[in-house]
Amino acid sequence: MVKIQEFIGHTQAVYALCYDASTSTVYSGSGDGMIVSWKLEQQDGILKARIESSVYCLQVFKDKLLAGSRNGILYVFELSGFELNHQIVISGASIFDILQVDNAILVASKDGFVRCYDKAFSLVWATQISSQSVRCLTYFNDFIWAGTTDGTIVQMDTNGNVITDTPIHNGTVFTLAFDPISGILFSGGKDAQIKMFANGGEIQSVPAHLLHVHRLCINSEKGWMLSSSMDKTIKLWETKGLRLLKVIDFERNGGHTSSVNKILWIDKNTIISCSDDRTLKCFEIRET
């Protein structure tokens, strides 16, 4: 595992990451309201926008970049010229996750709702699935899955109807990820556990980190999964059986010095992460 780049420029914790493969551009968002674009081969980023509150999530959607904020506004920017296209007030409740499903956008927020918008950003449906926050979303095999602050994983259809509602974690479910090869759902939460589910039931649980698991990200081509944590580490797992392969930390790899909030696969061997330490870091996984 080799660190190949470090990006510095944000003045507060970096909470949000997304990657536009069509232009090989990484976008980051932070507590200072800054949205910055980065190229892996260049150390300096470009400030694209600055909004009124913290940026919690980012999503590229066609020719636009969507930013979910702490103040409950969904900002829609044109990637060309980065003009503000829409500014949608969700409910005044923080937006924690944005997910694209075909031509629709799903938004998870602090008020316990999942909302669906069409490509013109008109509201299609809104379903309250919890009395607490909805923290994460994923999609697989025509179903939407959501994780909540009360430790529940909720399965929904694409019309917003709840199918199952299952308490899973002891505390917030921060992240969900499906392995498209095995059809297994992975979840990570405040209890520092990674759990695996198949056919509606739990098949394995691993005490993965010392503190909250913030993000899971799967590389199905390699059979790998990344986890990031409040304990300052990133871990690489074999998805089959959740076997730990590598640990990325400050001492061994020049990793982060504070909570690692998001991680992304850039390609089959390259990852990028962001942290409360206000940096982004890029690592190459070199197989031996």
What is the average per-residue pLDDT within 41-45?
91
What does the alpha-carbon distance between residue 168 and residue 202 come to, in Å, rounded to a whole number?
A: 9
Strand order through the sheet with 46-50? 14-20, 25-30, 34-38, 46-50
Count how many domains the chain has.
Answer: 1
- Residue 50 domain flag: yes
Assigned domain for 240 exists: no
CATH number at residue 117: 2.130.10.10
With CA atoms as reference, report the closest residue to 6 among 272, 226, 186, 188. Answer: 272
The answer as to whether 3 is a domain residue is no
Residues 156/163, Cβ–Cβ less than 8 Å:
yes
Residue 195 lies in a domain: yes
Closest CA to 197 of 221, 222, 173, 233: 173
Relative to beta strand 279-284, strand 270-275 is: antiparallel
* Mean pLDDT of the chain, nearest integer: 95
Cα Dmax for the chain: 50
Q: In terms of Cα–Cα distance, which of 31, 79, 81 is closest to 57?
A: 31
Q: Note whether residue 285 is domain-resident.
A: no
- Pairwise CA distance, residues 8 & 280, whole Å: 7
- 158 assigned to some structural domain: yes
The 10s digit of each residue's pLDDT in 163-179 is: 999 999 999 999 999 99
pLDDT, one tens digit per residue, over 97-125 is 999 999 999 999 999 999 999 999 999 99
User: 211-242 pLDDT, tens per residue?
Assistant: 999 999 999 999 999 999 999 999 999 999 89
**How far are the Cα atoms of 104, 112, 138, 227 from residue 142, in angstroms, in the given order?**
13, 22, 11, 25
198 — pLDDT class (breaks 50, 70, 90): confident
What pLDDT does 288 receive?
Answer: 65
44 pLDDT exceeds 90?
yes
Cα–Cα dist 54/71, whole Å = 8
Q: Do the domain assignments include residue 237?
A: no
CA distance 279 to 264: 14
Q: pLDDT tier at 269 (50, 70, 90 boundaries)?
A: very high
Range of the domain at 100: 13-212
| Residue 45 placed within a domain | yes
Tokens of 250: 């400050």
